[in-house]
Amino acid sequence: MLNVWRVFVFSNKYRQAFDQGRLIDTRERRRIAGEWTITLPDQINERTYPDSIVRAYSNFDTYGQTIDPYLVLEHPEKKGIGVYIPFRAMLPNRLDGILVTGLGISAHRDAVPLIRMQADIQNGGYAAGVAAAMAVETNVPVCNIDIKALQQHLVEIGNLPETVLSGPGLVSAARRQNLGGGGISETVPWCLGHRNIPHRAMPLLEVAYIKPRSNTNSTIPKYWRF
């Protein structure tokens, strides 16, 4: 294992002995295609997962050009949002024995701003390290570890809330209570998150559409075009 921090310290102290070159350290970088890809609609919906291992929090301080179609309808601006990271987002699709952490996990480009804070990346690295140790100790592939045991440990040390041990992998309870009845601002994110399941998304969208709308509640026509 390479201690990058130690290398940088020594390279600054002994400049004649090290060639530092250029360090590429961008906010955006290559990401894996994992068993699960985190999306922005999932985050806006505060979606939970049966294999959540990190609770991240940030505001949407994206840099560069956003590309997710959802942002045409509604933009979170600098709103702080708490989101979960599932273990499957660290598992490369169809590749065994590897865990990916940090900004390389499986996530849409516009989902990265909410999961890239240093503390959250550190917590993700810790969870991945414990998962790797569990795989070695039990002699199973890392994708087959006891995820509930991992979550229990993360709850005990304070990295996760206890609700992850029993919560469903769905939209948060608060968001579900507002679906349809809360109007378009609550309904559209959920529908976009389930746009591949039209029989679940369309009825709620239709309910929101017939409700009285103010001038600030005008994203329904945009959604129909979308």
Q: What is the mean pLDDT of residues 79-86?
A: 90
- Note the pLDDT of residue 127: 97
Per the domain annotation, does 33 fall within a domain? no
Same domain, 189 and 154: no
Per the domain annotation, does 35 fall within a domain? no
Angle between helices 184-193 and 198-210 in degrees, nearest 10: 170
Q: What is the mean pLDDT of residues 15-35?
A: 70
**Residue positions counted in the chain:** 226
- Residues in Cβ contact with 98 at an 8 Å cutoff, skipping those fewer than 6 apart: 91, 92, 142
Higher pLDDT, 224 or 32: 32
Same domain, 121 and 200: no
* pLDDT tens digits for range 91-119: 999 888 899 999 899 999 889 988 989 89
Same domain, 78 and 186: no
Same domain, 159 and 65: yes
Per the domain annotation, does 81 fall within a domain? yes
- Note the pLDDT of residue 2: 60
DSSP 161-210: -GGGGT--SSS-HHHHHHTTTT-HHHHHHHHHHTTT-HHHHHHHHHHHHH
Cα-Cα end-to-end distance for the chain: 48
Domain that holds residue 155: 40-170
Q: Which of 89, 92, 133 lies closest to 111, judged by CA?
A: 89
Same domain, 115 and 212: no
Q: Taking the model in full, what pTM does it have?
A: 0.69
Looking at 144, 170, 196, which one is the last position of a domain?
170
Per the domain annotation, does 24 fall within a domain? no
